């Protein structure tokens, strides 16, 4: 089945980002397709490459980028990103900044859209 994912909260501050990641891993293991991850609200902060994380903790933005490298599209809402200082210069690899229309596309392409937030 095709799952689309909406992430509404920033990394570390809320568990939403971790739950979304764990859900995606479990879905992939079961052979499902992830149509894309859309980052909205503070969720856009997941995609900064400037995070500097101690070795004993998970590196959330790197984890997303690795998922993007596997071909899962990572879409960062441009309007939400601008408000929070996320721009192409600080964006992780394998993600793209795009419009809210892409969330609409994601809803259409997916059998299920599941939201992780606060």
Chain residues in the site for another protein (CB under 8 A): 1, 3, 6, 8, 12-16, 18-19, 21-23, 25-27, 29-30, 32, 40-41, 56-58, 79-80, 99-101, 103-104, 107-108, 110, 112-118
Instruction: Compute φ and ψ for 36, nearest 5 degrees.
Output: 165, 160
Least distance to another protein, CB of residue 32, Å? 7
Per the annotation, the verdict on 107 as an active-site residue is no
**Spatial distance between the Cα atoms of 88 and 106, rounded to a whole number of angstroms:** 21
Out of a copy of itself, another protein, none, which partner does residue 88 contact, by CB within 5 to 8 A per kind? none
CA neighbor of 99 nearest in space, from 69, 115, 78, 68: 78
Q: Token pair of 14, please? A: 């809320």
Least distance to a copy of itself, CB of residue 15, Å? 14
């Amino acid at each position: 089945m095709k799952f689309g994912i909406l992430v509404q909260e920033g990394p570390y501050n809320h568990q939403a980002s971790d739950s979304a990641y764990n859900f995606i891993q479990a879905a992939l293991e079961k052979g499902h397709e992830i149509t894309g991850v859309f980052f909205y609200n503070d969720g856009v902060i997941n995609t900064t490459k400037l995070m500097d994380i101690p070795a004993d903790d998970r590196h959330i933005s790197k984890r997303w980028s690795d998922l993007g490298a596997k071909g899962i599209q990572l879409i960062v809402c441009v309007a939400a990103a601008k408000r929070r200082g996320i721009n192409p210069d600080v964006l992780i690899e394998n993600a793209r900044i795009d419009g809210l229309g892409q969330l609409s596309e994601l809803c259409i392409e997916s059998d299920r859209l599941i939201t992780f937030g606060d």
